[in-house]
C-alpha cells in the first residue's frame, strides 16, 4: 500500500484552500449589490425619519455648531443647550424649535437624503445618475464627519469625568463616526456605477 507523502498532503490542503478562496472571490458582485442596497436603505430610512420631531431636534447640536450649516437656524448655537439640552424630544420647547427653524430644516434635509438614496437605486437603469448620487453622498459623509470637530457633545466631557476629549466619544460622536463606513460605501458604489456606465457606452460604440 502506497504511503501519502507530506508533499501530497500539502498539495491537497493547497487545493482545498484555493477552492475556498475562489468561491469567496465570486461573491464580489453579490457584495457590491448588498453594499448598494444597504446604502439605499440607510439613506431612505434616515431621510424619512427627518420628518419626525424627535429626529429633527436630535440633530440640533450638530447643525447649530457647524460653520457649514448653522446659518439654516435662526438662533445662535449656545441657546439650544438651554432650550433643548438632551437633543431629543422635548415637548415643552417645541415652540423654540419652531422659531429656530429646526423642523423646516430637518424636513428639507430629509428630502435631500431620501433623494440621494433614490438616485443610487437607479444604478441598474441609469448608472450615470447613480454615480452622481454616490458622489453627493461622499460630500454628505465628509460634512457629517466634520461634526466630530465642531460639536462639543460628540466627546465625553463634564466635571468629575475620569475620561474626556479624544478619543472618548460620547453617544452623538459614536453615531457620527459610523459615517466612515458610509463614506467608503459611497466611494465604492460611485466607482462601480461609473465603470458600468463606461462599459455600456463602449458596448454601444463598438
Query: Looking at the domain assignment, is residue 5 inside a domain?
Result: no
**Per the domain annotation, does 2 fall within a domain?**
no
| pLDDT confidence of residue 1 | 44
* Domain total in the chain: 1
Distance CA 134, CA 43 (A): 11
- What is the model's pTM? 0.83
Q: Is residue 21, in this structure, part of any structural domain at all?
A: no
**In b/e form, how buried is each residue of 129-168, taking b as 16+ CB within 10 angstroms?**
bbbbbbbbbbebbeebbbbbebbebbbbeeeeeeeeeeee
Range in 1-10, 25-34, 67-76, 84-93 with the lowest mean pLDDT: 1-10
> Would 179 be classed as within a structural domain?
yes
Residue pLDDT, tens place only, 97-140 = 888 999 999 999 999 999 999 999 999 999 999 999 999 999 99
The residues pairing with 169 across neighbouring beta strands, listed in sequence order, are 155
pLDDT at position 14: 74
Kindly report, residue by residue over 136-189, the tens digit of the pLDDT. Answer: 999 999 999 999 999 888 888 766 667 777 888 888 888 899 999 999 999 999
Give the pLDDT score at 54: 84
What band does 192 get if pLDDT is binned at 50, 70 and 90?
very high
Dump pLDDT digits (tens) for 4-52. 565 655 665 677 788 888 888 888 889 999 999 999 999 999 999 999 8
Residue 132 is given by DSSP the state H
For residues 77, 83, 89, 93, the Cα torsion angle rounded to the nearest 10 degrees is -130
Q: Is residue 201 part of a domain?
A: yes
Domain that holds residue 41: 29-205
Q: Would you say residue 56 has pLDDT above 80?
A: yes
Choice between 192 and 25, residue whose per-residue pLDDT is larger: 192
Residue 14 resides in a domain: no
Identify whether 1 is part of a domain. no
Dist CA 193 CA 198 (whole Å): 9
Q: Is residue 197 part of a domain?
A: yes
Residue 113's alpha-carbon distances to 13, 16, 133, 159, 203, in angstroms, are 49, 45, 10, 37, 33
Amino acid at each position: 500500500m502506497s504511503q501519502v507523502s507530506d508533499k501530497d498532503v500539502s498539495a491537497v490542503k493547497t487545493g482545498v484552500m484555493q477552492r475556498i478562496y475562489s468561491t469567496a472571490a465570486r461573491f464580489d458582485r453579490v457584495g457590491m449589490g448588498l453594499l448598494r442596497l444597504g446604502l439605499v436603505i440607510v439613506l431612505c430610512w434616515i431621510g424619512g425619519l427627518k420628518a419626525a420631531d424627535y429626529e429633527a431636534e436630535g440633530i440640533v447640536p450638530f447643525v447649530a455648531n457647524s460653520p457649514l450649516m448653522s446659518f439654516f437656524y435662526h438662533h445662535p448655537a449656545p441657546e439650544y443647550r438651554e432650550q433643548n439640552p438632551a437633543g431629543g424630544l422635548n415637548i415643552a420647547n417645541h415652540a423654540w424649535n419652531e422659531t429656530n427653524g429646526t423642523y423646516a430644516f430637518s424636513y428639507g434635509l430629509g428630502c435631500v437624503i431620501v433623494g440621494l438614496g433614490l438616485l443610487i437605486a437607479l444604478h441598474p437603469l441609469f448608472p450615470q445618475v447613480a454615480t452622481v448620487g454616490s458622489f453627493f453622498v461622499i460630500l454628505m459623509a465628509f460634512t457629517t464627519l466634520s461634526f466630530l470637530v465642531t460639536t462639543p457633545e460628540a466627546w465625553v466631557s463634564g466635571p468629575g469625568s475620569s475620561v474626556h476629549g479624544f478619543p472618548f466619544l460620547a453617544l452623538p460622536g459614536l453615531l457620527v463616526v459610523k459615517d466612515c463606513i458610509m463614506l467608503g460605501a459611497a466611494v465604492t458604489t460611485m466607482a462601480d456605477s461609473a465603470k458600468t456606465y463606461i462599459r455600456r457606452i463602449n458596448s454601444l460604440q463598438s
